[in-house]
């Protein structure tokens, strides 16, 4: 597994985390930073477009159930922007139904992990998606 710390010093991997649950957001942020990633975390979807433009993430971790806008809408926004469409999105959601998973994948999500997600599983998915997308660690 490739970790951010194994990449060259000038190529820090940026991950945008959109998660409304404070505890989940803090745990994932802390763990990702510990693994060497640069993380910007949002508690809701309203700042998503601005964060995408300014932070320019290499990967997005996205919850579907957000207080102001649902993750499906954010997936649609990503598909409408040519500069964002190749950024891998991993959905991390409590929605466990196959229909929810299929809808997210149809809207461009690369992976769908059901909460509670195991951190090694999350890190494996991130590593594989970054390698696949040709990000600096790939």
DSSP 8-state secondary structure symbol assigned to residue 115: S
What pTM was estimated for this model as a whole? 0.90
Q: Where are the alpha helices (DSSP H) in the chain?
A: 22-34, 48-55, 71-79, 98-106, 119-133
Instruction: Specify the pLDDT at position 10.
Output: 57
State yes or no: cis peptide before 98, omega within 30 of 0.
Answer: no
What b-and-e string marks burial along 100-115, b requiring 16 or more CB atoms within 10 Å of the CB?
bbebbeebbbbbbbee
Instruction: Specify the pLDDT at position 8.
Output: 44
Instruction: Specify the pLDDT at position 136.
Output: 67
* CATH superfamily label, 4-133: Response regulator (3.40.50.2300)
Q: Is the dihedral of CA 99, 105, 107, 113 positive or negative?
A: positive
Q: Nearest Cα to 111, choosing from 125, 100, 97, 121?
A: 125
The list of the chain residues with pLDDT below 70 reads 1-10, 136-138
Q: Which residue's structure tokens are 């820090």?
A: 12
Interhelix angle for 71-79 vs 98-106, to 10°?
A: 20
Instruction: Specify the pLDDT at position 137.
Output: 52
Domain residues of the chain, as ranges? 4-133
Q: What tens digit of pLDDT does each residue of 96-105 get? A: 999 999 999 9
């Amino acid at each position: 597994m490739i970790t951010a710390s194994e990449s060259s010093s000038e190529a820090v991997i940026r991950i945008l985390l959109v998660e409304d649950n404070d505890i989940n957001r803090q745990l994932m942020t802390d763990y990702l930073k510990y693994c060497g990633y640069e993380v910007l975390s949002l508690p809701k979807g309203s700042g998503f477009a601005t964060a995408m433009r300014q932070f320019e993430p290499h990967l997005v971790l996205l919850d579907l159930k957000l207080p102001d806008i649902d993750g499906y809408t954010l997936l649609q926004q990503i598909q409408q922007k040519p500069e964002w469409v190749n950024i891998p999105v991993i959905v991390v959601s409590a929605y466990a139904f196959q229909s929810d998973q299929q809808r997210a994948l149809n809207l461009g999500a690369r992976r769908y992990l059901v909460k509670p997600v195991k951190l090694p599983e999350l890190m494996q998915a991130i590593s594989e998606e970054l390698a696949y997308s040709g990000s600096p660690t790939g």
